[in-house]
Structure 1
């Protein structure tokens, strides 16, 4: 059986590490094939992102997965990394991790954007992209080849907001505010519906008690060991949220769940009465959305056309509710435990 091919585009912060481990464990179980990881600045500068991805692959024992270095700044306005403190300055919680032995394989010679374009061209309608950071690489790929997304099997994005609730600002979610021009390009010019995990899904149905995180952290193995180290400061201080959030993990779990169920191959986002028990995502909404660029306060906010005033067909399918017990199973897998 041919496995669905996956490319992960990431800014490799703490929750990215969790999400990547989840995908790599699915790769090991032959549920999908991770054919590349592309990097982008966001949670930290891109050279830190590159190193973090290499550490994840080293920890997972999958150093053969190619890594493509990507965009080091946003399309228009450079991002001020000091505005983000949740992931530390290096994206991995400033955990003072030891050097990797043996040394990781070098990055691919191609830039991430060319890597995306060439791999999708090589495997048309076979590749799913999971975009976990700012959408700079994807926007550049679309600008270079407007047909890029028409050759994707699927696109899963963690980013944006559905109610005007922000995190890094009062009105915008981090990934979209980090590069709002890129987010606008991707939302408005992608040729297939985007499976989008918004900030609200991670904050409410996807949030879990810290007791669950503590139990996950007791898993024996290298995945859990690294995740515990890079998240140690946040788990100790708990200064950001009263529940444990794992934003990128939720987006990747949705992707894996859809791949396993065959929904992508069927071209269906329909949820039937059995989905609440058998699927991760139990409620979705389809709508048209864009991104605000000019607002003094609302720059980077995802704007949904609830009243259909734009007369545009839906471009996103966003997660609205989650089967929490099933999500915990995916998290157990990411930490190195059994699904």
Structure 2
């Protein structure tokens, strides 16, 4: 089943649609040429309350795309430039002693924003990257003995450069697993690059704000109401399980290449992202293709390859693609479920 990248139908006039997100994409595309896949995954991450890791060589407008999105959705935006001399307090905040009052005061860090850009996240050591673990998972920061909740909505979008090893640090596995998706950005086509150069020769058009944070929160709640058939959940579980035991899906040759597969967090994120994509495509229900279209981005960064695989320069994407091809889509009739089914599922979740 083939669907357009973004389709907005209106089955009922009393429910929220993804039209504000279409307007957001329109504004971002005033600045960003091409990169449709990246922009779609950014919107999916926003709807699903997930964090996004963007990987690509320098000069592909990764940072610019995230900044343009932040300007379009409004809210508080903070950019953290990760460098080797950064310390955890520079990210989450710290306690400062006030000599006049004789007491410690808390100075909150830049992570307290609606949209946080962790630029070149792999240029800071592991202890700084780990400062994001609590806020990305639990949406709170503990400073001293006090806990401070992050703003709502809250998302972290990080960029990293895959081709340089000098002055970079690998991301801890626990940190990588916090990201809902990892999107790889490629080079633009010749016509797209022509438009990029042409735009840069003139005065760039400023991105206009088209949404407010509370409106985004309502859209997130609307995406939460999308019905997900249990067969789709089972499909996501099979994909994640196949990364741990490829022999279960008829791929025993891949077993020697994978030391650790994806955790259950991958299954959860695949279903949440599929639900958001279904809302973006204008449906009140998810279909198996929604999960399949996002499976590569959800799974690629969660595989820990063996030394044998690293010696053979095996790409995790090739392993995930083989698994996706080996696991058949569930046979689910695409139809709008009964309201009672939707309410029952929402009660369970």
The two structures have a TM-score, normalised by structure 2, of: 0.31
The higher radius of gyration belongs to 2
Higher helix share: 2
